[in-house]
A and B are shown apart, each in its own frame.
Chain A
Amino acid sequence: MHLNEIIKQKPNEVIVAVVRRHPLTYVPSVLLYVVIGLIPIVLYFFIKQFSPDILANNYIGAIIILIFSAFELSVALFFYSSFLVYYLDMIIITNDRFVEVSQRNLFSRSVSEFNLYKIQDVTSEIVGVIPTLFNYGNITVETAGEGENLTFHAIGSPHELRRQIVQLADENRKMNHEELSEVNEAHV
């Protein structure tokens, strides 16, 4: 399966952009997992330094090593799962639609979409020192109808993306209007 199968890509549809949260927002998670992963290693050397008899014992030493090993593997597994949730959370913008893929956890994913011509307003904002330095912020998309506004947080280059979305929405509205006119003429 590829991205085009997730969004059920139409014949004349082209994927223009795939947008994810800025990588900097994932760094705190990475650091947390690194710190947690270091705990057994630090504990091991601590025990070896101050109570070497414990590790020298055939039984306790083996059990401690097995527990530490299982702990480290669990940390690696949880880290990779959290990376998956971060990486599979994305917005896919085509020349026709706006598709939001939300990976809530490993076995839970939702996909929502709307046509670009329904976009009425797009707002981008960068708030804060670090977001300003690293150029990431929020984008709010307002659509026609009764749907709620959609806000996407910590997107890289939000102002540039807003311009791109507005341009694509205009082009899509034009194309949609032309198709409707052709259909009306055919019926007449």
Chain B
Amino acid sequence: MITIPLFVFLIAYLLYLFIFLLFSLANVYHIVSTGTFTGVAFVVTAITTAGCIAVLVTTYYMLVDINWYSNLILLGPGGFVLFQ
């Protein structure tokens, strides 16, 4: 029986978040270090940051009741099965 715990997907998502954070910080560093962090750049940065925070908060509230220790059965005794 091949099963995948659901938290594997959560860990993959968190890994992606880490990479996303690194690239975001690199972006902000670029614009600050080149002395071009003007009003326009600040507004765009603020809007983008607010959007990302909104996505993360919405994701959190939509997933807060999920049981991450459930198993996703890919191949059971009766053949290919999607869920347990």
Where the two chains meet, the residues of A that have a C-beta atom closer than 8 Å to any C-beta of B are: 1-6, 57-63, 65-66, 69-70, 72-74, 76-77, 79-81, 83-84, 87-88, 90, 106
Where the two chains meet, the residues of B that have a C-beta atom closer than 8 Å to any C-beta of A are: 6, 9-10, 12-13, 16-17, 20, 23-24, 26-27, 30-31, 33-36, 40-41, 44-45, 48, 51-52, 55-56, 58-59, 62-63, 66-68, 70, 72, 82-83
Contact A88 B55 (CB under 8 A): no
> With A5-B35, A6-B35 as given contacts, are A72 and B55 in contact (CB-CB < 8 Å)?
yes
Contact B34 A1 (CB under 8 A): yes
Contact A69 B10 (CB under 8 A): no
A-side contacts of B45, CB under 8 Å: 80
Contact of B23 among A60, A62, A77, A83 (CB under 8 A): A77
> With A6-B34, A73-B55 as given contacts, are A62 and B66 in contact (CB-CB < 8 Å)?
yes
Contact A76 B51 (CB under 8 A): yes
Tell me how far the C-beta of B82 lies from the nearest C-beta in chain A, rounded to whole angstroms.
Answer: 8
A-side contacts of B10, CB under 8 Å: 62, 66
Contact B59 A69 (CB under 8 A): yes
> With A3-B36, A76-B48 as given contacts, are A84 and B27 in contact (CB-CB < 8 Å)?
yes
